Structures are given as structure tokens and as C-alpha cells.
Amino acid sequence: MTQPGNSPLTHLRHVGFAVPDFQEAIEFYRTLWGLQVVDEDSDVVFFGTPADPEHYVLRVRKDADKRLDLIAFAANSAAEVDQLAQRLGSAGVQLVREPDTLGTPGGGYGFRFFDPDGRLIEISSNVQERPWRPLEQRESIPRKLSHVVINSTNVAATKKFYEEHLGFRLSDWLEDKMCFMRVRQDHHILAIAQGPHTSLNHVSFEMRGIDEFMRGTGRLVRGGQNLIWGPGRHSAGDNTFSYFTDPVGNVVEYTTELERIDDDAAWRPRTFISGPEQKDQWGTAGPFEPMLAAMHNDPDKGVWTPSPL
């Protein structure tokens, strides 16, 4: 068991989608969303950003069914990967793939397992970094992958799993319906929301600053994409938000200025009440209710089923 505050994890690496509308999804993330193709095959494309050394931050795979293929987190070393895999296996967590060399772009060393909702999680180290550069002023493309939010039918149990087995720490609550979790200074790289079924809630990409965040939002709107909520600023995390849906209905977010927790010992998790001013401090985002159905998403057809890649 890993004690909260002693996580072997360092950051969120990437998220993998499986989609039936493959070419539409590829065009969306490449042309409108602003990601860069770093590797591809006939049925999978790997996207990165020139501002992040992470080899890729999103992969999109062609499949008959829409599903969340996996969520990948980084560990410091191969030794920590081995130790974590051993602890999880000893605790009865179902390992899908034992620690080994990875065959995906950037290589590395890692393993996979199911979380309590049947979601596939990958932990890896020693992934080759790509050359990177700081984004320039007004360059309105994602700087990095910020966080992922998942829906669970039992938030408390899923939260406990990530705390006890992976060392996540609680940053804040939105009532008792959504918890925000961290492993380092970023307020959250994972959040768990109460939902009617296991599914992806949304994936968030960080922009360079407020101006780039607004320019990116405007590019999507001018490109005919429906801005389903935003622009606004959350209370939990204090970050900005603009939410859209991709061609298969997954919710994706532009954000910036996510709160950082530099004094971990002094931090006391807060509970925010789900009122209009708590959802959006600015009051510019519009009604939240149309967003709820999109965030619930479709029941994930990939639960308890390993990704073929």
C-alpha cells in the first residue's frame, strides 16, 4: 500500500481513445485542436505538442466501438515501476501486462492494470523525450496535457483506490460528487466525478496563457465547433475552462492557470458548494445544465477489456 503523499508517480503522460469515426477525429485534433502528429499507422495516430518533451499526449485508435483505451501516468524509474507492480499484484489488483519494455512510440518500461471501475491504467518510466521549445506569444496550441476526469458510480471507492495504491492526494471536493487529486504541485491531474456509469468525463489541455486560451477557444468557434460551456474560471483549481466535444462526443477542454500547491503539509482540502459562482467565478460561461449530459458521456465499452495496443 502506498501512503498518500508518497506517490511514485510524477505526472500524467497520455490518454488513449478508440473511435469509430477515425478520420474525423484525426482531423479535429490535428487541425482544430492544434496537436501535432508525431507517429502514425493505418489505424492509430499519436499526437504530441512541440512545447512538451512528453513523447505523445494523446493517441487515437480506429475501432468499431468508442472507448477509453487507457490513461497513462509516469513514474521516476524502472525500479519504482517494478515495486509498484509488485505491490498492486500482492494487493489483488488485476495486472493486465507485467512490467516490460513498451512497444509504443518513445519506448520505455511499464505495466498495465485495471482500476476498480475496470479502466485500463498504464504506469511507465524511461520513455524517450522529444525535443521541445517554449510556445511563443499568441501561439494558441496546447502546451501540455493538463488533467483527465473520469466518471465513477462510486466516487469514494475509486478515490480510496488511487490514494491507497498510487499515492494520490486529495486537493478539493465539489460537494461530495467530485474529488480533485494530485501527485505533485499541480492541483489535480486526475478528478473523479459521480456518474450514472463508468465513462470518460473529459480530458483537459493546458494553454500558454489567458490570451492563447481565448484565441484557441475562438479558433474552435470560428471552425464551427459548438462551445458547450465557457469561457469561464472554476473555483476548485482556479483554472480557466472552455469545453467542446470531439467528433465522437468526448468532452475536451482548453485550460490555463491551474492552481499549484507548493506547501503540501499546509494544504487543507476544501469543499466547494455546487452553485453558479462556484462553477464559474467569472459568470461568463452560461448555464451548466447542457454540459452535464455531455460530461456523463456514453457508457464505456472498454471496461475490463485490455486495449489491443
Q: Are residues 176 and 210 in the same domain?
A: yes
Is the same domain home to 194 and 290? yes
* The predicted structure's pLDDT at residue 5: 58
Identify whether residues 152 and 274 lie together within a single domain. Answer: yes
H or E segment to which residue 5 belongs: none
229 alpha carbon, distance to own chain's centre = 18
Question: Taking a C-beta distance cutoff of 8 angstroms, is the pair 138, 208 a contact?
Answer: no
Residue 1 within any structural domain of the chain? no
**Tens-digit pLDDT profile for residues 187-201:** 999 999 999 999 999
**151 and 212, same domain (yes or no):** yes
Give the three-class secondary structure for 29.
helix
- Are the C-beta atoms of 227 and 220 separated by less than 8 Å? yes
Tell me the CATH number at 104. Answer: 3.10.180.10
- 309 within a domain of the structure (yes/no): no
* CB contact set of 15 (below 8 Å; sequence gap of 6+): 57, 58, 59, 68, 70, 71, 72, 145, 148, 203
3 state SS of 220? helix
pLDDT above 60: residue 3: no
Q: Answer yes or no: is 205 within a domain.
A: yes
* Strand pairing class (9-19; 109-114): unpaired
Per the CB < 8 A criterion, the answer to whether 5 and 264 are in contact is: yes
Judgement on whether residues 268 and 210 belong to the same structural domain of the protein? yes
124 contacts 12 by C-beta, under 8 angstroms: no
Domain shared by 107 and 172, yes or no:
no
| pLDDT higher than 90, residue 276 | no
pLDDT of 9 over the 90 cut? yes
Inside any domain, residue 185: yes
Whether 46 maps to a domain, the answer reads yes
Query: What pLDDT, on a 0 to 100 scale, did the predictor assign at position 290?
Result: 82
- Say if 4 falls within a structural domain: no
Write the DSSP assignment of 138-173 as a string of letters: T--S--EEEEEEEEES-HHHHHHHHHHHH--EEEEE
Mean pLDDT to the nearest integer, 52-58: 98
Q: Residue 273's pLDDT is what?
A: 87
> How many independent structural domains does the chain possess?
2
| Whether residue 181 is found in the same domain as residue 47 | no
Mean pLDDT, the chain, as a whole number? 96
What percentage of the chain has pLDDT greater than the value 70? 98
Residue span of the structural domain in which 233 resides = 144-296
Q: Mean pLDDT across the stretch 209-227? A: 97
Q: Phi first, then psi: give them for residue 276, nearest 5 degrees.
A: -55, -40
Say whether both 31 and 101 belong to one domain: yes
Looking at the fold, whether 15 and 108 belong to one and the same domain comes out as yes
pLDDT tens for residues 160-183? Answer: 999 999 999 999 999 999 999 999
Q: Do 258 and 225 belong to one domain?
A: yes
Same domain, 158 and 287: yes
